[in-house]
Structure 1
Amino acid sequence: MHELACFTRLALCFETLRAEAPFDPDLLMRKLRENVSGCLTYDTEVWSFEYVCKPSLFFSSPDGPFYTGNEALAEYECEYIIKSRRPEGVWDINWKWADYDLEFAVSENWWKADRAVKNMLYLNGFGRLDI
């Protein structure tokens, strides 16, 4: 999942910079679209308690090249983000570092901050940010 996200960012960099790629950019984008759709977790029932692949890993607005074909799931993620926000304004982290309880306890607040920034950017990209 994370490797795929890196490749999507690489493809977008080539596209943005209009750089000459040492590969067929159209073929890469076609393959990435297929893989993104195949990687997403469509079973939203498990989103709260499993480490899953959500649309926000690959795009942050309807303008993204990986949005097409994933519209419903992307909109669902907006609703999910809004509904799962804690009263303190952050989101719970639904995973742990198995053998590193102490280290995770120290870093958990960093991960909450990271998730808060990413969720707010995602909501903003979809015009759903109510401040």
Structure 2
Amino acid sequence: MRIWKYSGMYMIATGMIHNVVGLLMGWEVLGLMAQDGWVNSVSSEPDRNAIFWFLAIGFFWMITGHVFHKYLKESDHALPAIFGWYLLLFAVVGCTLMPVSGIWLFFPQAIMIILVKRNK
């Protein structure tokens, strides 16, 4: 089985998990933003900025995962190793700064992308 073919789906799942956690943790803040009518409801308030960026990065990972999945499905080639190295760097820095987090999920994804045998 070529597990690397699922690295895009794993990235989508990571983004979905991230946003579910964000929704659960930020539900109250999102409710206040909804009461303010959403438009310009973030401003400079730290809790609103935090939930906005938390959810935005989750969506970014889902979008990235979709692009990875589409590429893998259509080309039948592994992702370029550089993507794995960037994910690994992100995971190392992220886990150093914030060890109690979900950033650990990026280690297996990075290693999967780096170690796959490349099609010639």
TM-score, normalization by structure 2: 0.25
* Higher normalized contact order (CA 8 Å, seq sep 6+, divided by chain length): 2
TM-score, normalization by structure 1: 0.24
